[in-house]
Amino acid sequence: MRDFGYVKRFEKLGFGLFVHFGLYSITGKGEWIYSHLSEREREKYFALPAKFRVKANWAKELARAAKNAGGRYITLTARHHDGFSLYDTCGLNDFDAPHSAAGRDLVREFTDACREQGIVPFFYHTLLDWHHPDYNQNFPAYLDYLIESVQLLCENYGKIGGIWFDGMWDKPNENWQEDRLYSVIRARQPEAMIINNTGLSALGKVGHFELDSVTFERGNPRFVDRSDRPRAGEMCQVLNDHWGYAKGDCNYKSVKELIENLVDCRYCNCNFLLNTGPKGNGSLNGTDAALLSEIGKWVRANKGFFYEAKSSDLQCEGGLALTDGKYDYIAVKDVQMQADANVTIWEKHREIVLPGTVKIKSACWLDSGEKIAVENNRFAVKPFPYGTSLSVRVAKLEREK
């Protein structure tokens, strides 16, 4: 019988960083900017490799930022829709980082930096391609090129966590030869997660049998269909509106919303993949770096409980119930800090109601260790002490056996 243990290990990673980085990063106008250009402007776009200068320590800074945020894996755009590869394509073409001003295999630097920090490297790889002529002129030949490209990623960078495909929705009526594509990965990286993004048009759809995780985008994770085999779920989210760096995008989400996204994902037994778009030289945008750092504060304050946590059978009122198999956790949103009534807003008398059939042996607030008094299977939601405000507060419960 097939061993799906690698899927369970992926689920325990819990939280990852999505990284959209490529030629489009130079423009500062987002990862889809090529599709918005005129024909003349597109010719100039494909000359951008001459300007693609990436600083030496970009990958190390990225891996440290992910670790500081609490991320356990990074999914990097090894090749995005413009067809430019951050890895050495070994003669398949010269539209890659080694032939750019960077002059280096950036994927190798990425995988090395991840392993130094104990981060699992994943690769995003486009399926559609705006640069390769065979994509629209000779699709079977293009698939040969695509599969040879994926084979390089599976063979040249050591053990990887998985490959995250995107773009099959661009040609829904074509034969993408998925059996052949996925078999290349299985033969060389048998424990790699194979993920194929369904886009916003088919959130959570279960596709080919070999796919190990369904995808959700920009909010609203849901419980995953695991009726035929073990299968994970993953929701990717942007910090602002663009996946690739866009200097004109200031529509950022709050730290509160992002932490709630993380908790919602774990409640639905899904991973949370949070995106950042580095600048053209590989540096993280300052706002992105700050938001990731703030999320890391919450992760550390709550002891990283969510890595092992899944939805619990505890049907409580007032919060989301999760469990790691030993303890139950109640995640409560919109918890304010305790302060004078003239300077803060606090909804008094909030409480958590547990099922009458459950007996609680002990309870405490995870961030402080302060004991919680549970009476008649109810307990009050205590605000954060003044000087602290983490938005989502987590209660740790131990049941009587």
pLDDT in tens, 149-176: 999 999 999 999 999 999 999 999 999 9
Contact call for residues 129 and 142 (beta carbons, < 8 A): yes
Instruction: Tell me how crowded residue 376 is: count the other CB atoms within 10 A of its CB.
Output: 8
Which amino acid appears at position 97 of this protein?
A
Which amino acid appears at position 78 of this protein?
A
Alpha-carbon distance of 324 to 327, in angstroms, equals 6
- Give yes or no for residue 381 having a pLDDT over 70: yes
- Give yes or no for residue 347 having a pLDDT over 90: no
Alpha-carbon distance of 338 to 335, in angstroms, equals 10
Residues 310-399, CATH architecture: Sandwich (2.60)
pLDDT at 222: 87
SS3 351: strand
Give the homologous superfamily in CATH for domain 5-301.
Answer: Glycosidases (3.20.20.80)
Tell which residue, 107, 25, 15, has the closest CA to residue 68. 15
Half-sphere exposure of 127 (CA within 13 A, CB side): 23
pLDDT digits (tens, 9 = 90+) for 314-340: 989 999 999 999 999 999 999 999 877
pLDDT at 205: 77
Q: Confidence band (pLDDT; 50, 70, 90) for 206?
A: confident
Alpha-carbon distance of 179 to 111, in angstroms, equals 27
Mean of pLDDT over the chain:
95
Determine the average pLDDT of the residues in 266-273: 96
Which amino acid appears at position 276 of this protein?
T
Alpha-carbon distance of 82 to 64, in angstroms, equals 28
Contact call for residues 307 and 72 (beta carbons, < 8 A): yes
Instruction: Tell me how crowded residue 310 is: count the other CB atoms within 10 A of its CB.
Output: 16
Contact call for residues 122 and 159 (beta carbons, < 8 A): no
Contact call for residues 31 and 277 (beta carbons, < 8 A): yes
Q: Confidence band (pLDDT; 50, 70, 90) for 1?
A: low
Which amino acid appears at position 292 of this protein?
L
For 249-298, give the DSSP string: ---PPPHHHHHHHHHHHHHTT-EEEEEE---TTSPPPHHHHHHHHHHHHH
Determine the average pLDDT of the residues in 3-28: 97
pLDDT at 282: 98
Alpha-carbon distance of 269 to 224, in angstroms, equals 8
- Give yes or no for residue 398 having a pLDDT over 60: yes
Instruction: Please state the pTM of the whole predicted model.
Output: 0.96
CATH 2.60.40 location in the chain: 310-399
CATH 3.20.20.80 location in the chain: 5-301
**55 Rama class: left (phi>0) / alpha (psi -120 to 50) / beta:** beta
